[in-house]
Amino acid sequence: MDHLSSYLVLSAILFSLGLYTVVTRKNGVAILMGVELILNAANINFVAFSKFVTHTLDGHLISVFIIMLAAAEAAVALAIVLNLYNNRGHINVDEANALKQ
């Protein structure tokens, strides 16, 4: 596994899975997991390009920042999902439709 392409394929698969999860799931937490998959796909890209293309540490550095931001985002998003649960007793995003379309 010393080729750039295998890393890119892995990240593309992760990205597609994340996209699929976000689009199809109704559960708030599951959607957030899909978003995490997309972010990690980007992380793999950054590190792989950094190792194989630029031979610098830029990409590694960016991926560290992304991991940190993903944690912050998860904290905020989970707080909001928890609040939805407190108000409604479920975390089904589809049924949050009090605001008219």
Partner 1 sequence: MDLNQIVADLGLFLPEIILTGVVLLVVLYDLFQDAEHSIRSGYLAMGGLVLTLLAVLMQDTSAPTGIFSNMLAVDGFSNFLKVIVSIGAILVMWMSFNSNELKGRRVGEYYVLILVLTLGMYFLVSATHLLSIYISLEMVSLMSFLLSGYLKEQMRSNEAAIKYVVFGAFSSGILLYGFSLLYGLTGSTSIFEIQAALAAGNVQPALLLMVLVMVLVGFGYKIAAVPFHFWTPDVYEGAPVPITAFLSVAPKAAGFAIIIRFFNVVFSGDGNPNMEAWSALENLNWQAVISLLAILSMTVGNVIAIQQSNIKRMLAYSSIAHAGYMLLGVVVADQTGIAAILYYAGVYMLMNLGAFFVAIHVKNAFDTEEIEEYKMLGYKAPVLGVIMTIFMFSLTGLPPTGGFIAKFYIFRSLIEYGDMYFWLAIIGLINGVISLYYYMRVVKAMYFGKMELPERIHQAPLNVTVLLVILALPLLLGWMIGDPLSGYAQSAVHFFVN
In the complex, minimum distance from the CB of residue 7 to partner 1, in angstroms, rounded to a whole number: 10
Of 13, 61, 67, 71, the residue at the interface with partner 1 (CB under 8 A) is 61
Binding mask 23-42 for partner 1 (x = CB under 8 A): -----x--xx-xx--xx-xx
Q: Which of 25, 16, 36 is nearest to 78 (CA)?
A: 36
SS3 content of the chain, % helix, strand, coil (to 5): 80, 0, 15
Closest listed residue to residue 35, CA positions, set 21, 51, 49:
21
Asked if 96 interacts with partner 1 (CB under 8 A), we say yes
Measured CA distances, 8 to 17, 31, 33, 38 (Å):
14, 23, 20, 13
Q: What residue ranges bind partner 1 (CB under 8 A)?
A: 8, 11, 15, 18, 22, 28, 31-32, 34-35, 38-39, 41-43, 45-46, 48-49, 53-54, 58-59, 61-62, 65-66, 69, 72-73, 76-77, 79-81, 83-84, 87-88, 93, 96-99
